[in-house]
Structure 1
């Protein structure tokens, strides 16, 4: 998943902020293989935790959106602008409840899915969301 998202970041110009704990090793050969030779074209930053991320990047809270199966608003009912931050949880468990609670309800977004389905693969959810944000802004 992370290799795919690194490749996505390289191709769309997004920055990827990885917030520990990570469920993988950054030097894993599978990660390198999935990212192919795109690592040099993507800006990837690591943070030792959520608070460290907030302190280092200083994102405006009003510009932050989290994607969750618990989301209260559809991605497609949300206007996204350059400079917005998109936050995704772990593949296996999504966003932790305390992190979901950090976001205002209108900042918790969901991707539409058929009834009875749990979630999309993480890298697919990131790709769908990033491309929707990019589309809304004219792919510029």
Structure 2
């Protein structure tokens, strides 16, 4: 499947998503904000899975969806300029301080282990959502991460608002 609207000012990409309801909820967010959604295979479910459809309710016809065999396949189809912004729970620029640009590609990792190092290395920047109630440097106490669909909604809204897309 090829990319819809190759010149979109902002897009969301899920790297090997595993949990159908998260993908459905993110698709719903993308429909609401009119942002293209790309899924990088392998997926942990069939795209026609009932739980994916149920989470997206009746919004799937409004989602600009594409699937890709791997990240390189997606990147080869993007129109320059773009920046690949990896979203991670650690080691990135704070969402509140980050300056988004038109063409940014918001890349979110798997629910179980995030973005692999080899994918992080391909990113132009890494972005982190600050969590005052998060775990400490040793991974102790507090919340390890936000739900993927919540994190995606926060980052997508912040980026679109900053770029005056709505």
Scaled by the length of structure 2, what TM-score is found? 0.77
Structure 2 residue aligned with 1:132: 158
Aligned residues: 137
Q: Contact 1:65 / 1:108 at 8 angstroms: preserved in 2? A: yes
Q: In structure 2, what is the Cα distance between the partners aligned to 1:82 and 1:103?
A: 16
Name the CA distance, whole Å, in 1 between partners of 2:80 and 2:113.
Answer: 24
Match of residue 134, structure 2, among 75, 96, 115: 115
Tell me which protein shows more helix as a share of its residues.
1
**Which structure 2 segments of 5+ residues have no match?**
1-21, 136-142
Contact 1:73/1:110 (8 A) holds in 2: yes
Matched residues in 2 for 1:70 and 1:34: separation? 28
Q: Does 1:75 align with 2:101?
A: no
d(CA) in 2 for partners of 1:65 and 1:71? 13
Summarize the Cα distance change of 1:74–1:17 in structure 2 as closer, same or farther, 3 Å threshold. same
Using the alignment, how far apart are the partners of 1:118 and 1:12 within structure 2?
27
Deviating more after overlay: 49-58 vs 26-35 = 49-58
| Unmatched runs of 5 consecutive residues or more in structure 1 | none
CA RMSD after TM alignment: 1.5
CA contact (8 A) 1:59 1:85 kept: no
Distance 1:98 1:59, change over 3 A: farther
Residue 14, structure 1, aligned to residue 35, structure 2: yes
Normalised by the size of structure 1, how large is the TM-score? 0.90
1:59–1:87 Cα change, 3 Å: farther
Q: Does the C-alpha gap of structure 1 residues 59 and 49 become closer, same or farther in structure 2, counting only changes over 3 Å?
A: farther
